[in-house]
């Protein structure tokens, strides 16, 4: 039998994993070590060498893309069709199981699967029956709660009544939700897994059939499994050593959405005769990158331990750039990208990775200004995000109360209990009377055409917008925006949205305040627009600039979480500061801090040839100026793998000085220097860029905040220290 096609492409550790006798096995696969190859070749070995039927093999992945890739590679390797094989995601395979055994699973044969949006709409309909106020009990909070309980294998009937008011209310929603789903034959994503587990647990004959059929069970990304997924795997492999799992405890970064790194340790307990194979040879990154990543992750306790290595040499040292502030950071990164592309590099080989979505704005603005195409991977551009559009809608209504699009967007955000029918009635009235929506509401209230509840809610909204306009009149732009995001209720509304998404929305709103603070207002604009109007126009134009699609040659922007599984020749990891990365919430929680460190490890190992780490010595976070320390993760990297870089000519470092200073000619101001402007008063120089007639200077004025000025027109004078 010719097995060269299966064995020859593998290194020694991979061969050991692929050709081992059938038994429980944990393949500890480091980043870039060829884990998918091992899974595919293991299955091929079992079919071609050991003679097992393709129908006796079950392979579970986390994405449809990974399942398709695995199926295609098996077909290419063995020249057989893999269409009938059970290779798929947990949800896909659970759905397949339930379709075959709907009656035993106590489901109608025509049961329907709900996506996340369908599930949320159902919960909102339930709220009306339960007379719940969405403002006090956000539907997404209930959705998060229900899915979280299901991921732990917990039904509403299993939960005891408690004295906790929140728990009692969530339990009531959960019970009502289960009842309507069972009555209507509806199944959500979390239910697919829970119901499939219950099907096998409660039907011994069905369980026995699949235990006999699936002689070999394979699992990819095992470190990302949650409680119910592992319980399902345990049932299928009960009392058998036929579970082959590939994972990496150092790449477990999804604890916030239910993944249990503990499952790797449970596997070793539940399968005492298991074998461990470590894949440590890396085929992606250079030696300096791997050495740095190894040293960082070593600071986590309780690891199974491995040391990534490569035969490709050390490569370039890791660049470290200490920016003066976040604008300088973005300027440096984009300049490096521009230079790389000018020298013939491909934009799609470059990624900018950040911890928080809110960080993308600075880089987006600089990329747009430099005409470099980019794509926000797995997310929206800053000004396209729902929470930003909602805040801008309030600002537009302050400028123009008869802006119907903005009125309709936020009249019920945050939720005010205004029903769909009430809004439909207002739309019809506005059309028939040729009124704006605001005017139609006022007319309907005056003529008593609305219910008291709807009328009060709508008049309260109009009063809120009017009050915001009055409170912000004459204030600097950033203070107007700050008041709006706080007094509109948007901040509190999104804080109630549990999980990472709610935190990201709040951070984005706070970044909008920073964007307003840094906005350059041209007082001499031809249209004679106010600063607020100009800012709203700027936001609309930036949102209208469509980002590149996946097929275009463009720079990739993404969060560190979204980067898992990807690789790029050049990677910029930005915001390496205490309080940002690691995040402030994780600093005092050892478990969360270790997950942040694993996230750092994942980010670093995305880089193939060149890695650049940046941090800012000052950064505006949550509406205030901060002066963070460099991240502890940066301090954990060996000095011999790092190379500090500094910008030439464009930005000067902060300087200290004494004595009085005379007026300066353009081009001679230093960062940190105090200056005086005829109109804006005294301020401190933050940044400079450009040269000659195009040279600009950024100053933080005591009276009006941060402004960019053309140095040749600014008429500045130095102020004594």
Catalytic residue among 151, 191, 221, 503: 221
- Which among 654, 659, 599, 655 is positioned nearest to 631, based on CA atoms? 599
Whether residue 221 lies in the annotated active site:
yes
**Using CA of residue 175, residue 178, residue 182, residue 185, what is the dihedral sign?**
positive
Burial grade of 613 (CB within 10 A; 0-12, 13-18, 19 or more): buried
Please say whether the dihedral angle defined by the alpha carbons of residues 221, 233, 594 and 29, taken in this order, is positive or negative.
negative
Dihedral (C-alpha) 654, 656, 660, 663: value to the nearest 10 degrees?
-20
With contact defined as beta carbons under 8 Å apart, do 345 and 550 qualify? Answer: no
Q: Is 479 noted as a catalytic residue in this protein?
A: no
Q: Quote the CA–CA distance of 449 and 194 in Å, as a whole number.
A: 48
Please say if 385 is a catalytic residue: no
Pairwise CA distance, residues 434 & 431, whole Å:
5
Q: Annotated catalytic, 432?
A: no
Distance CA 423, CA 716 (A): 54
Q: What is the DSSP string of 109-121?
A: TT-EE--HHHHHH
Question: Exposure pattern of 463-473 as b/e (b: 16+ CB <10 Å)?
Answer: ebbeebbeebe
Catalytic status, residue 359? no
Give the C-alpha separation, 514 to 508, whole Å: 10
Q: Which helix (H) or strand (E) holds 608?
A: strand 607-616
**Structure tokens that stand for 93 in this block:** 């395979």
Nearest alpha-carbon partner for 247 in 224, 217, 214? 224
Query: Is residue 684 within a helix (H) or strand (E), and if so which, with residue range?
Result: strand 681-689
Q: How many Å separate Cα 554 from the centre of its chain?
A: 20
- The reply to whether 32 sits in an annotated binding site is yes
* List 16, 23, 36, 670, catalytic entry: 36
Q: Tell which residue, 464, 466, 581, 477, has the closest CA to residue 522.
A: 477
Cα(472)–Cα(361) distance, rounded to whole angstroms?
Answer: 24
Q: How many residues does the chain have?
A: 721
Rounded CA Rg of the chain:
29
Kind and range of the H or E run holding 645 = strand 642-645
Q: What are phi and psi of 287, to 5 degrees?
A: -60, -40
Residues 306, 606, 632, 688: which is the catalytic one?
Answer: 606
DSSP code of residue 281? B
30 annotated ligand binder: yes
Structure tokens given for 656:
């200290």
For residue 308, what are its two tokens?
Answer: 């990534």
- 148 has binding-site annotation: no
Catalytic residue list contains 473: no
How far apart are the C-alpha atoms of 670 and 263, rounded to whole Å?
55
Helix (H) and strand (E) counts in the chain = 27, 22
The answer to whether the CB of 553 falls within 8 A of the CB of 347 is yes
Of 251, 286, 359, 413, which is the active-site residue? 251
Q: Which helix (H) or strand (E) holds 363?
A: helix 360-369
Helix (H) or strand (E) holding 557: strand 555-559
33 is in an annotated binding site: yes
Question: Tokens 């940044």 map to which residue?
Answer: 687
Q: CA 557, CA 704: separation in Å to the nearest integer? A: 32
459 has binding-site annotation: no
Task: List, in sequence order, every residue forming a beta bridge with 624; answer none if it has no partner.
Answer: 621
Hey, which bits of 138-228 come out as E strands? 186-187, 216-219
C-alpha separations of 317 from 563, 611, 645 in Å: 22, 8, 11
Active-site annotation holder among 35, 284, 375, 396: 35
Q: Which residues contact 180 (CB under 8 A, 6 or more apart)?
A: 122, 126, 186
Is there a binding annotation on residue 291?
no
Pairing outcome for strands 186-187 and 112-113:
parallel
SS3 707: strand
Q: Which residues of 92-107 are buried (b: 16+ CB within 10 A; e: fewer)?
A: bbbbebbeebbeebeb
List the catalytic residues. 35-36, 220-221, 251, 606
Residue list, annotated binding site for ATP: 29-36
């Amino acid at each position: 039998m010719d097995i060269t096609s299966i064995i020859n492409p593998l290194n020694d550790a991979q061969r050991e994993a692929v050709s081992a006798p059938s038994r429980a096995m944990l393949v500890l696969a480091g980043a870039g070590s060829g884990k998918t190859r091992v899974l595919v070749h293991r299955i091929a070995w079992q079919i071609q060498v050991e003679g097992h039927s393709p129908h006796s093999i079950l392979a579970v992945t986390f994405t449809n893309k990974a399942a398709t890739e695995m199926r295609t590679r098996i077909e290419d390797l063995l020249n057989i069709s893999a269409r009938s094989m059970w290779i798929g995601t947990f949800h896909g395979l659970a759905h397949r199981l339930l379709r075959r055994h709907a009656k035993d699973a106590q489901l109608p044969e025509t049961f329907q699967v709900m996506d996340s949006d369908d599930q949320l709409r159902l919960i909102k309909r339930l709220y009306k029956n339960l007379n719940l106020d969405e403002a006090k009990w956000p539907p997404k909070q209930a959705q998060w709660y229900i899915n979280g309980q299901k991921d732990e294998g917990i039904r509403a009937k299993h939960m005891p009544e408690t004295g906790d008011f929140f728990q009692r209310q969530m339990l009531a929603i959960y019970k009502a939700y289960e009842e309507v789903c069972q009555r209507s034959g509806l199944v959500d994503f979390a239910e697919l897994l829970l119901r499939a587990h219950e099907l096998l647990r409660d039907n011994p004959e069905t369980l026995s059939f699949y235990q006999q059929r699936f002689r070999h069970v394979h699992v990819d990304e095992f470190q990302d499994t949650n409680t119910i997924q592992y319980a399902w795997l345990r049932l299928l492999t009960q009392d058998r050593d036929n579970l082959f799992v590939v994972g990496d405890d150092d790449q477990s970064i999804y604890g916030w959405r239910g993944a249990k790194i503990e499952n790797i340790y449970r596997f070793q307990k539940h399968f005492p005769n298991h074998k461990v194979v470590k894949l440590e040879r890396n085929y992606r990154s250079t030696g300096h990158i791997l050495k740095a990543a190894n040293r960082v992750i070593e600071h986590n306790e309780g690891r199974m331990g491995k040391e990534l290595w490569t035969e490709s040499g050390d490569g370039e040292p890791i660049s470290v750039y200490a920016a003066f502030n976040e604008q300088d950071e973005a300027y440096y990164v984009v300049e490096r990208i521009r230079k790389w592309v000018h020298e013939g590099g491909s934009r799609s080989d470059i990624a900018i990775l950040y911890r928080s979505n809110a960080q993308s704005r600075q880089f987006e603005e600089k990329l747009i200004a430099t005409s470099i195409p980019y794509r926000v991977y797995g997310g929206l551009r800053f000004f396209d995000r729902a929470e930003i559009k909602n805040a801008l809608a309030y600002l537009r209504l302050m400028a123009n109360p008869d802006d119907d699009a903005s009125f309709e967007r936020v009249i019920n955000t945050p939720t005010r209990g205004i029903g769909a029918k009430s809004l439909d009635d207002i739309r019809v009235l506005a059309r028939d009377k040729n009124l704006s929506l605001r005017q139609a509401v006022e007319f309907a209230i005056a003529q008593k055409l609305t219910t008291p509840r709807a009328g009060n809610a709508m008049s309260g909204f109009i009063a809120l917008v009017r009050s915001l306009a009055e409170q912000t009149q004459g204030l600097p732009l950033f203070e107007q925006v700050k008041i709006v995001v706080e007094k509109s209720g948007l901040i509190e509304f999104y804080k109630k949205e549990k999980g990472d998404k709610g935190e990201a929305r709040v951070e984005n709103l706070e970044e909008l305040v920073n964007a307003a603070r840094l906005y350059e207002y041209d007082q001499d604009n031809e249209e004679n627009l106010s600063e607020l109007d100009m800012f709203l126009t700027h936001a609309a134009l930036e949102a209208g600039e469509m980002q590149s699609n996946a097929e275009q040659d463009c720079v990739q922007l993404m969060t560190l979480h979204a980067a898992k599984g990807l690789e790029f020749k050049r990677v910029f990891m930005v915001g390496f500061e205490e309080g940002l990365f690691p995040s402030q919430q994780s600093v005092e929680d050892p478990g969360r801090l270790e997950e942040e460190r694993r996230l750092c490890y994942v980010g670093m190992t995305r880089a193939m040839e060149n890695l650049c780490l940046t941090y800012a010595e000052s950064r505006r976070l949550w509406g205030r100026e901060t002066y963070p320390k460099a991240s502890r993760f940066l301090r954990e990297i060996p000095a011999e793998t790092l190379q500090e870089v500094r910008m030439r000519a464009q930005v000067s470092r902060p300087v200290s000085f004494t004595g009085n200073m005379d007026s300066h000619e353009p081009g001679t101001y230093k960062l940190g220097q105090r200056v005086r402007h005829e109109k804006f008063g005294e301020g401190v120089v933050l940044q400079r860029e450009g040269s000659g007639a195009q040279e600009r200077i950024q100053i933080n004025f005591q009276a009006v905040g941060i402004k960019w000025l053309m140095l040749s027109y600014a008429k500045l004078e130095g102020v004594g220290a």
